[in-house]
Amino acid sequence: MSGIADVARLAGVSKSTASRALSGGGYVAAETRERVEEAAATMGFVASSSATSLVTGRHLNVAMLTPSVTRWFFTEVIEGVEGALADSDFDLTLYRLGSGADARRRVFDYFLMRKRVDAVIAVGVALSTVEVDVLRTLGRPIVGIGGPIAGIPTLGIDDTAASRTMTEHLLELGHTRLLHFGGDRDEQRGFSIQAQRLRGFRAAVRAARIDPGHDFVRTPFSIQGGYETAMRELADPRTRPTAVVAACDEIAIGVILAARELGIDVPQQLSVVGVDDHHLASLFGLTTLRQHPSRQGSTAVRMVLEALATPMDATAPVSQTTNVNVVVRSSTAPPAT
């Protein structure tokens, strides 16, 4: 097996120069670096990440904290993070934070302290002050996705505004009998997204001077949850709304499936909107708000890599609202007269 000494001998340089050329640590003339890289390629030599770490102080590894690896939003963010890191030759170490306090504490107190990482990206995780302090002891950049975290740069959408925008779309079409299918507020984690989206819905309805009466149905954040709730809420035509504002696309898709089973035409008898632009949304003709989670992941990577190159300005804004756009499809129309 070839070693750094063999590469140096073939390139006609010292071992220290060969090491600097392959690790990126210290100055090496471009011509010399190219000669060393060609020698390494010829001999099939790959620099040890441990050795590179000793030279550069970097581990080429970013830790990502997330409460889920199966929900659509989180998988999209992971894809964006992973792609951006691969382009930068960084590895990704993923930590799923379970609901148990002990398991979560072990991640912060043991795994993150033991593993060698250059930066941390927290997705959908509302870090406590204690947890932030633990991460800061690593002396590594931290970026959050999904909501504001005190003292940490974050990015995400305005969930209240997102829900209000989609509700206003229905109001502009002429709907006055609206119902919000939202997440279980007693089980919500992270940044209280369910409560914010309910707040946006109610703000839009209130501004339109409409009293919908029964306006909220607690619904699990899933296609199955939307389906089961809609089967109950839409069965009676006397109390059925003309439009449903779903807190996420997965709920909205479940509502559309239930409407089909109940013989309710979408959108002639029922309009449905969601938030996210789930990859299944277009298949169901769902009108929704696209929030680009993969782009949020790649943006977070850019932020931590920039911070590794140049420490973040402590006076800079610590929260960024990412761009969204409304995607109008076939699930919405004016109410039947």
What span, in angstroms and rounded, lies between the C-alpha atoms of 310 and 292? 27
| Cβ(271)–Cβ(332) below 8 Å | yes
In the chain, which residues fall in CATH 3.40.50.2300?
61-156+294-321, 159-290
How much is the pLDDT for 54? 42
Mean predicted confidence (pLDDT) in 64-91: 88
Residue pointed to by tokens 């040890």: 48
User: Per-residue confidence at 38, pLDDT binned at 50, 70, 90?
Assistant: confident
Long-range Cβ contact pairs of 3-10 (< 8 A, separation 24 or more): 3/45, 4/45, 4/47, 4/51, 6/43, 6/45, 7/36, 7/39, 7/40, 7/43, 7/45, 8/36, 8/39, 10/39, 10/42, 10/43
What span, in angstroms and rounded, lies between the C-alpha atoms of 122 and 143? 6
For residue 14, give the H/E element and its range.
Answer: none
Q: Which of 6-15, 106-115, 228-237, 266-275 has the lowest mean pLDDT?
A: 106-115
| Cβ(250)–Cβ(279) below 8 Å | no
How much is the pLDDT for 117? 80
How much is the pLDDT for 40? 79
CATH topology of domain 159-290: Rossmann fold (3.40.50)
The rounded percent of the chain whose pLDDT value lies above 90 is: 45
Considering 22-31, 142-151, 182-191, the range whose residues carry the highest mean pLDDT is 142-151
Please identify, in words, the CATH class of the domain defined by 61-156+294-321. Answer: alpha beta
Q: Which of 42-56, 127-141, 145-159 has the lowest mean pLDDT?
A: 42-56
How much is the pLDDT for 48? 53
Mean predicted confidence (pLDDT) in 137-146: 84
Phi then psi for residue 75, to 5 deg, are -65, -35
| Residue scoring higher pLDDT (222 or 192) | 222
| Residue scoring higher pLDDT (117 or 53) | 117
Mean predicted confidence (pLDDT) in 193-209: 93
How much is the pLDDT for 114? 67
User: Per-residue confidence at 198, pLDDT binned at 50, 70, 90?
Assistant: very high
* SS3 sequence of 320-333: EECCCEEECCCCCC
Mean predicted confidence (pLDDT) in 51-60: 53
Q: Yes or no: is domain 4-56 CATH 2.30.29?
A: no
Give pLDDT tens digits for 279-328: 999 999 999 999 999 999 999 999 988 888 876 554 455 678 888 999 99
Give pLDDT tens digits for 58-71: 567 898 998 888 88
Over 90: is that where the pLDDT of 204 sits?
yes
Over 80: is that where the pLDDT of 159 sits?
yes
The rounded percent of the chain whose pLDDT value lies above 70 is: 85
How much is the pLDDT for 115? 65
How much is the pLDDT for 56? 46
Mean predicted confidence (pLDDT) in 82-90: 84
Give pLDDT tens digits for 250-271: 999 999 999 999 999 999 999 9
Mean predicted lDDT score pLDDT of the chain: 84
Residue 105: count of CB within 10 angstroms of its CB:
13
